[in-house]
Chain A
Amino acid sequence: MDALLEYAWLAVALPLLSAVLITAFGKQLPGKGSEIGIAALAVSWLLAVGIAWETFVNSPSAPLERSVDWSPLGGGFVFELGMLVDGLTAVMLLLVTTVSFMVHIYSREYMAGEPRYTYFFAMLGLFTFSMLLLVVANNLLLAVIGWELVGLCSYLLIGFYWEGKSNQDAGNKAFLTTKFGDVGLIVGVIVLSAGMFGLTDTPFNIIQINEAAVAGELSTTTIVLGMLLIFLGCVSKSGQMPLHVWLPDAMAGPTPVSALIHAATMVTAGIFLLARLFPVVAQSQAVMATIAIFGVITLFFGGLLALVQDDLKKILAYSTISQLGYMVAAIGVGGYTASVFHLFTHGFFKALLFLGAGSLIHAVHSNNISDMGGMAKAMPHTFWTFIIGSLALAGFPLTAGFFSKDEILIAADIWADAGFLTGSLIYWVGLAAAFVTTFYMARACFLIFAGENRSHHPPHESGKLMVAPLMVLAVLSIASGYLFSPFSPEQPNFETWTATPILDTDSTYPFTEEVAAGAVAGDGILASEATVVAAEAGDGPVKVLHGVPKWHPDLLAIVLVLFGGAVFLAWRFYGKGLPERDPTLHMGGFTRVLVAKYGFDDAGYRYIVVPVRDRLSAAATYSSNVLIDGVVAGVGRATKNAAMTTYGVLDQKVIDGGINGAAFSAAWWSRQLKRIQSGDVQRYAAVLVAGTIVLVLAFAAAR
């Protein structure tokens, strides 16, 4: 059974194969290529389930690394093509293949009748391949390749309906915004591996980087600079403020794409990478604090933006931004397991919500919740599954979202106890954001499912192929939470599953030992009086792995009160259908700020897009067309003239003249000399005699 791990590459390669086959033969097949995609994903999914099971029951398991040398980098450094299969990889494999499989099945019905149906499935396959490549990569360069490929697929699928200008713009915005962070990512990877030069032949190898960081072989500068630059990549890819602006616009793509790429998988790539490099992150307090602050800003302010949205997909997009903020913040407060766990459960319930949204949009032909209403009766399956997804997102007790989000809050609490202000900040802001999340999801649910039908179409339940994935994901939205809850056993559970040998039960943060020892107590804003308290209490350093979660009645009570309050408030406002005056749209300056999205989009347009487009592009065009082209054309013209001169003088006159002259002179001489051969035998004889006489006289004279 252990041999299954060796075949992880197959789970990666199959979607690529399906993409190629669909492109080649898809249009001739009865299912227009969708059957190839679904079959490939089914096999990939089975493999992923096997791998997940294998790593789960044997957890904590040693990572399996297999690689071949791809190409030398020069100087003895080797670029590996390899895979790294451990619990974290298995979690991501399971998540990506499950959601992708569900989205494939769903799309078969949802995308039916689209003119680019086959292309869509090919792109889904390519995306799945790229994401899995990123996940199984054993070195950072390969991960960057996967990272860029998912960005490309995202761009192509956001612009899937490229006939509309706004969809093209959304694709460009997403591509360019994420590309900005990608530059940081690549530079960060190079910085990190530059620190590995001299230590190993394979400076990009993830395990070796982690081990070197833990062993203290990397300098602080390398770690801080490298990880902050890599984090810049995560900020753009995982929709952290202020580079989140592309994600709501990315909803221009088809809804299954939003579910797969812009909710469940691609946008979590940044968090995955941070988790992958967590042993490096854990070396620096500055890096963790930066990550935590970005996360906490995003989780709160991103969530607020969802309050004023009417477009259901944009509500979900902003909630995705907010949830990604939770995951990033969790990394920043040492909640490694909590972050990955939330990534895992969020993938299921957010995919469920997006697919449910797709089902609703399919029924009423509008994205706007103001055009829906009263859908509960007409679409019972969509209704129930959507409610389950909403409860999970809002963190209602005993759903997956509850366990994972509370785990983040508990991690923040532990961090706060260790004396870090970011811990308290995330704990309280996280709770406030949970209230906001519950409120906007309740608002959406009431407006969609309660009251009268405001759409212009009689709503109808979607077909089996769309409902079945909803049900599967609804079950997972609840069940996945029990992998790491007070109900889970000591071993195996989600924590032992995702822990790598570097992160064992004794792992601590190097800087917390100093904090605990009181050595740097009161250092800057990050350490507070609690530091001293913790040090005096003798709690010792904070451990990376927190063990099986316990019930926290105080937290549970707060969560329930917040949940009840938010739902009650939403019911007051929206319980009877769309109110005349939507309260969230009449909050004065607050609403104006939210509607303007804090001005990020406008500022970005005014201070980045316009100057780049009007000045930089014009200057670049001038320099390209006039300066560079002028030089190129001048060089070309000069070369042509030189060639013409050379041709006329050297080739035509000297060389050809020489050759022709030789030929002509030979012909002239031959004309002269041939007259000797007269055919007159007597003349020959006369010459013979004359010659003889001359020779005789010559010999006589020589005597």
Chain B
Amino acid sequence: MSPLGPLLLAAFLFCAGIYGVIARRNAVLVLISIELMLNAVNINLVTFQNLLFPDDPAVTGQVFALFIIGVAAAEVGVGLAIVFNMFRNRATVDVDDADLMRW
């Protein structure tokens, strides 16, 4: 199987994620964009595992992808909690309003 399809998909997902992180105002959508980027990385890991080390009995790349999925779930938990608290304090989830850490 040609790796071109999965790699293009991963590149597309990563760029979409970067666009979302930089351009979206809604904090929830920013978190979802981060998930897109993480999943683009997972696709890359699995793809290169199959491409470069097809005989690796430990399937390191795929295991690594599983770890990332786990960590991403934890990250979403923490991120959503932050967003939830932000909404409680400021009645908005617009990241442009979260500008306390400035000069």
Instruction: Please indicate the chain B residues that have their CB under 8 angstroms from the CB of A689 in the complex.
Output: 18, 22
A113 / chain B contacts, CB cutoff of 8 Å:
none
B21 closest partner in A (C-beta): A685
Stretch with Cβ within 8 A of A (4 or more), from B2-10, B45-53, B64-72, B91-99 = B91-99
- Please state if B22 and A686 are interface contacts (CB–CB under 8 Å): yes
Contacts A/B (CB < 8 Å), 11 sampled: A677-B101, A677-B102, A678-B103, A679-B99, A679-B102, A680-B96, A680-B102, A682-B21, A682-B30, A685-B22, A689-B22
Shortest beta-carbon distance from A410 to chain B in Å:
116
Q: Of residues 1 to 60 in B, which have CB atoms within 8 Å of A's CB atoms?
A: 18, 21-23, 30
CB-based contact B22/A678 at 8 Å = no
Chain A residues packing against B (C-beta within 8 Å): 674-675, 677-682, 685-686, 689
Interface SS, A side: helix
Quote the shortest CB–CB distance from B84 to chain A (angstroms).
Answer: 17
Shortest Cβ distance from B103 into A: residue = A674
Closest B residue to A686 using CB positions? B22
Measured between beta carbons, the chain B residues less than 8 angstroms from A675 are 103
Q: Closest approach, in angstroms, between the C-beta of A521 and any C-beta of chain B?
A: 119
A679 and B100 contact, CB distance less than 8 A? yes
Contact of B95 among A674, A677, A678, A682 (CB under 8 A): A682
Additional 11 contacts, C-beta under 8 A, given A679-B101, A681-B98, A685-B21? A675-B103, A677-B101, A677-B103, A679-B98, A679-B102, A680-B96, A680-B99, A681-B95, A682-B23, A682-B30, A689-B22
Inside 8 A of A679's CB, which chain B residues have their CB? 98-103
Residues on B with C-beta less than 8 A from A685 are 21-22
B contact residues around A678 at 8 Å (CB): 99, 102-103
Q: Are B22 and A682 in contact (CB under 8 A)?
A: yes
A687 CB to closest chain B CB, in angstroms? Answer: 10
- Determine the residue in chain A with the shortest Cβ distance to B30: A682
Greatest chain B CB density within 10 A among A677, A679, A686 is at A679
B55 shortest CB reach to chain A, Å: 30
CB distance from B15 to the nearest CB of A (A): 10
Instruction: Enumerate chain B residues within 8 angstroms of A677, measured Cβ to Cβ.
Output: 101-103
Interchain nearest-CB distance for B75 vs A (Å): 16
Q: Which residues of A contact B100 (CB under 8 A)?
A: 679
A686 → B minimal CB distance (Å)? 5
A685 to B100, CA, bound (A): 17
Q: How far is the CA of A675 from the CA of B102 in the complex (A)?
A: 9
The docked-state distance in angstroms from the alpha carbon of A592 to that of B94 is 130
A113 shortest CB reach to chain B, Å: 90
* Cβ distance B95 to chain A, nearest Cβ, rounded Å: 6
Distance (Å) between the CB of A69 and the closest chain B CB? 77
List, in ascending order, chain B residues with CB within 8 A of A680's CB: 96, 99, 102
User: Distance in Å from the Cβ of A574 to the closest Cβ of chain B?
Assistant: 118
Chain A residues within 8 Å of B99, by CB:
678-680
Please, which residue of chain B has its CB at the minimum distance from the CB of A671?
B103
Q: How far is the CA of A619 from the CA of B99 in the complex (A)?
A: 88
Pick the most buried of B98, B100, B103: most chain A CB atoms within 10 A of its CB: B103
By a CB distance below 8 angstroms, the chain A residues around B102 are 677-680
- For the complex, what is the distance from the CA of A677 to the CA of B101, rounded to whole Å? 8
Q: How many Å lie between the Cα of A678 and that of B99 in the bound state?
A: 7
Residues in B neighbouring A674, C-beta threshold 8 A:
103
- Cα–Cα, bound, A680→B22 (Å): 10
Residues on the A chain within 8 Å of B18, using CB: 689
The CA of A513 and the CA of B98, in the complex, are separated in Å by: 126
**A689 vs B100: C-alpha distance when bound (angstroms):** 23
Bound-complex Cα distance A675 to B103 (A): 7
Instruction: List the B residue with the shortest CB-CB distance to A683.
Output: B22
Nearest to B101 among chain A residues (CB) is: A679
Nearest-CB residue, chain B, relative to A670: B103
Complex CA distance for A485 and B19, rounded to whole angstroms: 138
Complex Cα gap A681–B101 (Å): 9
Q: In the complex, what distance in Å separates the CA atom of A681 from the CA atom of B79?
A: 14
In angstroms, Cα B98 to Cα A675, docked, is 16
| Residues in B whose Cβ lies below 8 Å from that of A681 | 95, 98
- Shortest A289–chain B CB gap in Å is 107
Contacts of B103 in A (CB 8 A): 674-675, 677-679
Q: How far is the CB of B76 from chain A (nearest CB, A)?
A: 17
Contacts of B21 in A (CB 8 A): 682, 685
Q: Which residue among A678, A680, A681, A689 has the maximum number of chain B CB atoms within 10 Å of its CB?
A: A681
The residue in A682, A686, A689 that gathers the most chain B C-beta atoms within 10 A of its C-beta is A682
B82 CB to closest chain A CB, in angstroms?
Answer: 12
Please give the distance in Å from B19's CB to the nearest CB on chain A.
10
| Minimal beta-carbon separation of B16 from chain A (angstroms) | 13
In the bound complex, how far is the Cα of B21 from the Cα of A686, in angstroms? 9
Closest chain-A Cβ to B85's Cβ sits at a distance in Å of 16
Closest to A677 in B: B103
| Cα separation A678 to B103 with both chains bound (whole Å) | 7
Q: Which 3 A-B pairs have the closest CB atoms?
A: A679-B102, A679-B99, A674-B103
**Minimum Cβ distance to chain B for residue A511 (Å):** 109
Closest approach, in angstroms, between the C-beta of A689 and any C-beta of chain B?
6
- C-alpha gap A680/B102 in the complex (Å): 8
The CA-CA distance from A685 to B30 in the complex, in Å, is 11
Q: Which residue of B lies closest to A673 (CB)?
A: B103
Chain B residue numbers with a CB within 8 Å of A686 are 22
Min CB–CB distance A33 → chain B (angstroms):
82
Alpha-carbon gap, A686 to B19, bound state (A): 9
Residue ID in chain B nearest A687 by CB atoms:
B22
Closest-CB distance, A681 to chain B (whole angstroms) = 6
Please, which residue of chain A has its CB at the minimum distance from the CB of B18?
A: A689
Contacts of B95 in A (CB 8 A): 681-682
In the complex, chain A residues whose CB is within 8 Å of the CB of B96: 680, 682
Query: In the complex, how many angstroms separate the beta carbon of B14 from the nearest chain A beta carbon?
Result: 11
A681–B22 Cα gap in the complex (Å)? 9
**Least distance between A362 CB and chain B CB atoms (Å):** 100
In the complex, the chain B residue whose C-beta lies closest to that of A689 is B18
User: What is the CB-to-nearest-CB distance from B11 to chain A, in angstroms, rounded to a whole number?
Assistant: 13
Q: Once bound together, how far apart are the Cα atoms of A679 and B23, in whole Å?
A: 15
A40 to chain B, nearest CB (A): 85
- Output the nearest chain B residue to A690 by Cβ-Cβ distance: B22
Q: Give the docked Cα–Cα distance between A682 and B24 (Å).
A: 9
Inter-chain CA distance A675–B100, complex, in Å, is: 14
In the complex, what's the smallest C-beta–C-beta distance from B3 to chain A, in angstroms? 20
Closest to A675 in B: B103
Q: How far is the CA of A686 from the CA of B100 in the complex (A)?
A: 19
Taking CB atoms, residues of chain A closer than 8 Å to B30 are 682
A358 to chain B, nearest CB (A): 99
Q: Return the chain A residue nearest B98 by Cβ.
A: A681
Distance of A3 from chain B, by nearest CB (Å)? 92
A679 to chain B, nearest CB (A): 3
The chain B residue with its CB closest to the CB of A692 is B18
Whole-angstrom distance from the CB of B47 to the nearest CB of chain A? 20
* Shortest Cβ distance from B100 into A: residue: A679
Whole-angstrom distance between the alpha carbons of A685 and B22 in the complex?
A: 6
Provide the residues of chain A in CB contact with B98, threshold 8 Å: 679, 681
CA distance A87 to B43 in the complex (A): 127
